[in-house]
Amino acid sequence: MARTAAVTECPMDWVLRILMGPWTTYILWVLLRSGPSRFGEIKRQVPGISAKVLTERLRMLESTGIVDRRYEATIPPRVTYSLTRRGEELRLVLNQLNELARQWRAADGKAVPAKEDEVRIAPPPAGGSAPAPMHAAEPAE
């Protein structure tokens, strides 16, 4: 249980647990950059994530009201995810956190990637020096 445990007493802890997932912030970043996106689109933008986990994360973000899920029962079905107002609110705070971290890293003499002007919410786990075969094949687009 450990991290799965429903604490939810402390708002902070609660929201932190939502962002905690390894891909979560990256997904948010994709939605931020690309706007409303379909499931497959997101999956393609987040190399290495499995459908299972992507679904989990999306569901969690949805139940939190951070993303909106729009389902069209066409054939084939079309599902579109987008950031809600809460997602935007969250971004503002996250940007501050990002900025703070940047300052620290700069002070530490580490090169920071780039400022851009928006938060790039979070990159995926790097594949390079991974001990385990992290992501398998890239879905050739």
Residue 78 binding result from DNA, a second copy, none, given CB thresholds of 5 to 8 Å by partner type: DNA
- Token pair for 138: 């890239």
* Helix (H), strand (E) at residue 47: none
The secondary structure of 49-101 as a DSSP string is: --HHHHHHHHHHHHHHTSEEEEEE--SS-EEEEEE-HHHHHHHHHHHHHHHHH
How far apart (Å, rounded) are the C-alpha atoms in residues 44 and 38? 10
CB of 107 to DNA, least distance (A): 25
Asked if 123 and 26 touch (Cβ cutoff 8 Å), the reply is: yes
**Which residues would be at the binding site for DNA (CB under 7 A)?**
1-4, 21-23, 38-41, 48-53, 55-56, 58-59, 69, 71, 76-80, 124-125, 127, 129-136
**Which residues would be at the binding site for a second copy (CB under 8 A)?**
1-7, 9-16, 19-22, 25-26, 64-65, 86, 89-90, 93-94, 96-102, 104-105, 108, 112-113, 119-132, 134
Nearest to DNA of 114, 137 (CB atom): 137
CB of 27 to DNA, least distance (A): 11
CB of 73 to a second copy, least distance (A): 27
* Helix (H), strand (E) at residue 25: helix 24-34
Nearest to DNA of 65, 99 (CB atom): 65
